[in-house]
Chain A
Amino acid sequence: DAKTTQPPSMDCAEGRAANLPCNHSTISGNEYVYWYRQIHSQGPQYIIHGLKNNETNEMASLIITEDRKSSTLILPHATLRDTAVYYCIVIIETSGSRLTFGEGTQLTVNP
């Protein structure tokens, strides 16, 4: 599975968009980009995933560059409850894929 690089921490003002970057320059053609987040002391929560097209759901948007070497998770209107560690994970989309969690990005949303 491709390795990912994320900044260790970011801050965002409440109500603003939070843009979390992820580099995955060694990604291969059949690997998907998944995003999970972990709010303090809780189990990780799935957010969104994509292959090469941009994706949007009720939680966030995922922008993947054309060369697929990087992506950005966008929380359009961050709230205090979005304060969490965000993990970008690249995996082959098969049943039972095992997630490899890196250090992630600690996002702090400030009032």
Chain B
Amino acid sequence: NAGVTQTPKFRILKIGQSMTLQCTQDMNHNYMYWYRQDPGMGLKLIYYSVGAGITDKGEVPNGYNVSRSTTEDFPLRLELAAPSQTSVYFCASSGLGAGGTYEQYFGPGTRLTVT
């Protein structure tokens, strides 16, 4: 299994541009998450999904949109990029594991700079 994959790895955007961060998992997990991490800080939840067709806001959803049309994919959309969205973005997924637990598996991250 590849686990959780994210593309692109790096991106530089100009203010006002739009882009979609891709996230795919091959573990058949129902639950998927998007976090952002600013330098020297912990991760903050942007959006999450409990299954295909269902999404909900996390702690810092403003400026972002998500969709979940399949179990595998959970793209994050930035419509009008702002310098405050410069961050590292992590996608994660979780599902019922062999031990009956729900630990989250994280992707490698997308490093986004908005200038």
Q: Evaluate contact between A104 and B42: CB separation under 8 angstroms.
A: yes
- Give the contact-size bracket for chain B: 20 to 34
Instruction: Give the contacts of A88-109 with B (CB-CB under 8 A).
Output: 93-104
A-B contact count (CB 8 A): 61
Q: Evaluate contact between A49 and B103: CB separation under 8 angstroms.
A: yes
CB distance from B33 to the nearest CB of A (A): 7
Stretch from B11-19, B65-73, B106-114 at the A interface: B106-114
Assembled-state Cα–Cα distance A97/B48 (Å): 10
Q: Evaluate contact between B103 and A34: CB separation under 8 angstroms.
A: yes
Given contacts A99-B43, A101-B44, is CB(A41)–CB(B109) below 8 Å? yes
Instruction: Give the contacts of B30-89 with A (CB-CB under 8 A).
Output: 30-31, 33, 35, 41-45, 48, 50, 58-59, 88
Assembled-state Cα–Cα distance A34/B94 (Å): 14
**Residue among A34, A46, A101 making CB contact with B43, cutoff 8 Å:** A101
**Residue among B4, B44, B104 making CB contact with A46, cutoff 8 Å:** B104
CB distance from A86 to the nearest CB of B (A): 11
Q: Which residues of A contact B30 (CB under 8 A)?
A: 95-96
Q: Which residues of A contact B31 (CB under 8 A)?
A: 95-96
Q: Which residues of B contact A87 (CB under 8 A)?
A: 42
Q: Evaluate contact between A99 and B102: CB separation under 8 angstroms.
A: no
Seen from chain A, the residues whose Cβ lies within 8 Å of a Cβ on chain B are 34, 36, 41-46, 49, 87, 93-104
Seen from chain B, the residues whose Cβ lies within 8 Å of a Cβ on chain A are 4, 30-31, 33, 35, 41-45, 48, 50, 58-59, 88, 90, 92, 94-96, 101-109
17 interchain pairs, CB-CB under 8 A = A36-B104, A43-B90, A43-B108, A44-B104, A46-B103, A46-B104, A93-B101, A94-B102, A95-B31, A95-B96, A95-B102, A96-B31, A97-B94, A98-B45, A99-B45, A100-B59, A101-B35
